Amino acid sequence: MRDPQQRAVAAVFALHGVVGGSFATRMPWLQENLQLDPEVLGLALLCPSVGSFVAMPMTSRFAHRYGGRAATRVLLAAWSAALVLPVFAPGLPWLCLALLVWGAAAGSCDIVMNSLGVVVERRLARSIMSGLHGMWSVGHLAGAGVGALAAAAGLDARLHLTLVSLALLLAGVAVGRGLPQGRPEPGEKKPPRFAVPSRAILVIGLVGLCATFTELSGTQWAAIYTVDVTGASAGAGATTYAVFAGFMVATRLSGDLVVRRLGPVLTVRVCSAVATTGAAVVVLGRTPWLVTAGFALLATGVAVIVPLVIASAGKAADSPGVGVAGVATITYLSGLVAPAVTGWVAGVTAWPVAFGVIGVITLTMGFLSGTLRPRVTAEPGTAAAG
């Protein structure tokens, strides 16, 4: 990354990932400290998604008013500070409130940093979004690694996450200075207070929905699928998940080279073919190594799609924030329901049937690829509610 603004935005993505990775490792501490049953904790963990859904459609108006750089610095700081809220919650109601705020900060920061990524990509006239999302994954893994060490050492989660939060706040201040201004273009229409995706953004978002559904289903169920279908050990199941996650990161970090060479439409078609082949291998495989290979192909096929969809939507709308907010809302919804729907289908039928459905979804992604064809002019503005 030779461009300083690209490096700054990439650093923001990495810091955003550190927050999520750090929190994920302290879930057992949180459950034990508040003495929550798994079912109750699972319901509480719906609150971040609710907070994100409420906040994301309003974020583009905030960024338009104050500029992308200022909005990103404020929301990254809010997201970093919100890291400590859940572990200081004295009971379930306070935990739910903390997770609502946490989710709102996460989703809002997600919108503005992706919008800045679109701004830099436009200026450079080359794909960079896949690499930015790869940096998020790197940050997530780093946060999870430090969290695992803290948990193994018996460090209180309140102390651990407070130290991480302070470090992130300081890093955010330093990184924020290098971000692009992200000011609206002359004559650019003011986003609505609550942005609803236009028809064009909605269709683009369907491609992201397919990719996110596949990614989150693989993330949640890869290990269990390997154990239940092939009779492998828990260690082999964990290896399948690790391979899936590793291929996601590696593909995202290198995916911009593919997008630059093939263009968005052909990239989606090729990725759809790779992912569908992976789903077929998963469904037909009955040995751990075959299933693991299938999940590796599945990860490779979907890794670059969401960054590509976000970039396309940001360029298709009147302003990057409106387009990004529209597709992010759709992909967040897909990510919320994907693990549950896949698990339900497997429970009613069988695991191979459930991942056969995912194969149909990845195939559909290829048929929708034409929606990512670059447009000469921006799409009409989004409708407003409120």
CATH number, domain at 56? 1.20.1250.20
Give the domain range for residue 62: 4-176
User: What 3-state DSSP class applies to 195?
Assistant: strand
Residue 204 within a domain: yes
- Higher local confidence (pLDDT), 200 or 182: 200
| 337: in domain | yes
Same domain for 251 and 122, yes or no, is: no
Domain assignment present for 380: no
118 and 21 in one domain?
yes
Within a domain: 181: no
Q: Which pLDDT band, with edges at 50, 70 and 90, does 319 fall under?
A: low
- Count of structural domains, the chain: 2
Q: How confident is the model at residue 322 (pLDDT cuts 50, 70, 90)?
A: confident
Token pair for residue 277? Answer: 């082949």
pLDDT digits (tens, 9 = 90+) for 242-298: 899 899 999 999 999 999 999 999 999 999 999 999 999 999 999 999 999 999 999
Six-digit token pair at 247?
């291929």
Does 227 reside within a domain? yes
**pLDDT band with cut points at 50, 70 and 90 for residue 185:** low
User: Does one domain contain both 25 and 100?
Assistant: yes
Residue 62 has pLDDT above 90, yes or no: no
Are residues 354 and 239 located together in one domain of the fold? yes
- Provide the pLDDT for residue 347: 92
Which among 143, 176, 209 is the end of a domain?
A: 176
| Cβ partners under 8 Å of residue 385, min gap 6 | 192, 193, 194, 196
Is 139 in the same domain as 208? Answer: no
CA distance between the termini of the chain: 41
If we measure between CA atoms, which residue out of 294, 304, 305, 296 comes closest to residue 355?
Answer: 294
Rounded Cα gap, residues 353 and 211, in angstroms: 18
For residue 380, the model assigns a pLDDT of 40
Has residue 386 got a pLDDT over 50? no
Strand partners, 383: 196
Q: Which of 122, 142, 176 finishes a domain?
A: 176
* Residue 184 clears pLDDT 70, i.e. is over it: no
- Residue 381 predicted with pLDDT over 60: no
Q: In Å, how far from its chain's centre is CA 348? A: 28
- Smallest Cα–Cα separation from 215: which of 233, 241, 238, 237? 241
Boundary (domain end) residue, out of 123, 146, 176: 176
The per-residue pLDDT of the chain, averaged, comes to 88
- Judgement on whether residues 242 and 361 belong to the same structural domain of the protein: yes
Give, to the nearest 10 degrees, the angle between helix 157-176 and helix 68-82: 170
* Domain identity same for 166 and 216: no
pTM of the full predicted structure?
Answer: 0.82
DSSP E strands: which ranges in the chain?
Answer: 195-196, 383-384
Q: What are the structure tokens assigned to 148, written together?
A: 């695992």
Same domain, 139 and 220: no
Same domain for 345 and 217, yes or no, is yes
φ, ψ at 197 (rounded to 5°): -60, 135
Specify the pLDDT at position 342. Answer: 92
Please indicate, yes or no, whether residues 229 and 290 belong to a single structural domain of this protein.
yes
Tell me: the pLDDT tens digits for 24-59? 888 889 888 999 887 788 778 888 888 888 888 888
Exposed/middle/buried for residue 113 (C-beta within 10 Å: 0-12, 13-18, 19+): buried
Does residue 302 have a pLDDT over 90? yes
pLDDT at residue 141 above 60? yes
